[in-house]
Amino acid sequence: MRKVYDFTENVLIVLYILQKAGLGLTLEQINAIFLNTTELNYIDAALALEHLKEQELLSQHETPTGVYFLPTIEGRRVLGHFITSIRSRIRENIDQYITENKEKLQLAAELKSDYVPVGDGSYLVVLRTYEKAKLLSEIALFAVDAAEAHMLAENWTERAGEVHSAVYKILSREK
């Protein structure tokens, strides 16, 4: 059974998520945390996020890896005053989720993959690594079809470290 949450608590939950994460989060990441730690839906999160932007309680930063949200100083102050308005069970769920997924949240900001059709059914897959919103590396590969392109893009998140290590090892060898 869906619990009833009030709008104020929803707004505070979004602020709490951003504060606890300790790093900028995308809309998709905020929604994933919101949906996995509360019984609320995407619309509840979107309305709360929009209200926070209008009230200047969060800032929005555009980077090459996407749009990220962070609480403003005023947003942190408001959360500090009203944090007890968020049920302790919800805070505990958020704390646990962020602890368990911190590395994944950070990697999502650092590793990006895209693929686009280039004709004849093949795809160009572009794999990028960022650090502090600066491009560190970019690898472009051709895939024979959409399934292979998708597989390469998905594997990038899991294996980027191995790829970088192998490339460095190979390129740093004497001839």
Name the fold adopted by 7-109: Arc Repressor Mutant, subunit A (1.10.10)
Which burial class, exposed, middle or buried, applies to 30 when counting CB atoms under 10 A from its CB (0-12, 13-18, 19+)?
buried
| Model pTM above 0.75 | no
pLDDT of residue 133: 65
pLDDT of residue 72: 92
Neighbours of 81 (CB within 10 A): 10
The boundaries of every CATH 1.10.10.10 domain in the chain are 7-109
pLDDT of residue 22: 84
pLDDT of residue 165: 84
Tracing tokens 């960022």 back to the chain, one arrives at 130
- 3-state DSSP helix/strand/coil % of the chain, to nearest 5: 60, 25, 20
pLDDT of residue 64: 59
Structure token pair of residue 6: 């009030």
pLDDT of residue 15: 95
Nearest alpha-carbon partner for 126 in 118, 108, 136, 138: 138
What are the residue ranges in the chain where pLDDT is below 50?
Answer: 1-2, 4
